[in-house]
Structure 1
């Protein structure tokens, strides 16, 4: 199965870090990588700007995109990796949505700093995140200068409050790529589960039956994000993955400074899967 991966870029090293991580994560997989640059021009004054000057700036960005593609081709070790570029005059959000639909993107890989990084959305004036804006496919947030290691251990915090369906597939696909173990985390004691939670726990066990996995229980002492940080360290988790339900634990991650800590200064990438009703 060919993966179609979108990599938004502002040509910063942080954006390149995300691209490099994606290249190494899928080094053995057939992939088409799309480098997307959403071009914008902001003038500090209302003075006239000639069309030829605008054209020259756009041409420079297009050249940078071509250079990025050439750099990725050199880095890739797989002849079944294809690289495409997308230059857009739309807003970043609209450009991402259009690219997802046109190119059947199944994952976004994004840095967590820079003009096109997650920080712009997470700390934007409307306090709305790209996680909530773009719910069409999973989003992989990669910390700056992250040194790639094969993700032998995947962390999956969940509250068992909802049943599991297609949103589990991206986690299983990720596990397939590196034969990873899926470490499920529930923050609270197993003996405190409701009947519904127990039913959902059994459902998740069935879904993961053919995969290496474990179920882990941590007491709710302090904030959930602190428990997750401890879990990452104790289990040597390489990628943290979560399902973005409405009114779920991930909303607290967005509203509280934990994304700042775990995203911008994180030791591991963060894989967010949108829940589709």
Structure 2
């Protein structure tokens, strides 16, 4: 009778062990998680990163500096080997400091500082390039838009575009009877072709579907030009402008050398 009332010690301890096991696993997981390092916040990682990458900075700065030093070294060797015909880099630097120390002096029409000469060159480039843009971009739109104008102007462009600036300058002197308008004319006629050609090519490469939609919507020619063609042609047009600016700077050097500008 007594043995029927009391349970075995193993049977009494078994439920306790099974109920305590989940608590032991939870404690183990908590202890393992507490041993992991806390994640580094982005601000702390940014503070630890170096402000300047010295390797990347050296790769950007060292090659150009070496190229400049090589140029100066070759220049010095050539000046030494030729005697006094070519000034050395040091002598050139001294003269440059003297010239730019007072760039805006004026001692008459033929004796002016380098600042006035630079402003005059900028004025000529701006006028010639501005006239070329005003004429060339609309002309390129018209040539690209209408096939009749394209067939009419293509032979003229192919004939006049390769002409050297040195050939246009005497024509300008003959027509305008002055060095300044002749230089502006030469810049204009030489820098107009990249804008005309690139704008016309851009108009011709506009997808035909765009124009078909405009035809269905019965848009006017002005709306087609401003709302369809202009946004599509803008990358080509900017490429022509960039090329024309470079051409204008090349032409002004030759024009001023020949006219004494």
TM-score computed with the length of structure 2 as normaliser: 0.21
The structure in which a higher percent of residues are strand is 1
> Would you tell me which structure has more helix in proportion to its own residues?
2
Which of 1 and 2 has higher RCO (CA within 8 Å, sep 6+)?
1
- TM-score (normalizing by structure 1): 0.20
